Amino acid sequence: MNYPENDRPEVTPRSLAEWISFTIASILLSIVVALVIYSWVTIQDKPPVLGVKIDSDLRQVEGQFYLPIEVTNSGGGTVESVKVLAELSIEGKIVETGQIQIDF
């Protein structure tokens, strides 16, 4: 817009509070952008790598065998469902089999 010389709006200098607010907002925005870029660069699309840790606390109650297990994912991706199959073999013969499906 073209203002006549006398009608131009006055430009007031920024106050200290405005400069502090602007600086804090700029720093926070820079941190968020840096974190997004960092996660985009470092997190690759790796497949899931599953591991099963077997607790040695096998027990038998009324003809049923119980074996505590821990399933961990040390890969980059996630899984929807995991099926763990177990076999109990005594002296080379499979005595018992079992399976469990874990849904995440």
Q: What ranges do the domains of the chain cover?
A: 5-42, 50-103
* Token pair 């996630």 in the structure block, residue: 78
Distances (CA, A) of 4 to 7, 12, 93: 5, 19, 101
Which pLDDT value is given to residue 25? Answer: 98
6 falls in which pLDDT band (50, 70, 90)? Answer: low
Residue-wise pLDDT tens digits, 64-73? 878 888 888 8
- Global pTM value: 0.48
Q: Are 73 and 50 in contact (CB under 8 A)?
A: yes
Name the E strands within 1-104: 50-54, 59-61, 64-66, 69-73, 81-90, 93-103
Residue-wise pLDDT tens digits, 9-47? 777 888 999 999 999 999 999 999 999 999 888 876 778
Q: Are 89 and 65 in contact (CB under 8 A)?
A: no
Whole-number average pLDDT of the chain: 85
Q: Are 71 and 51 in contact (CB under 8 A)?
A: yes
Tokens of 93: 């013969």
- The shares of helix, strand and coil residues in the chain, as percent rounded to the nearest 5, are 30, 35, 35
Which pLDDT value is given to residue 52? Answer: 87
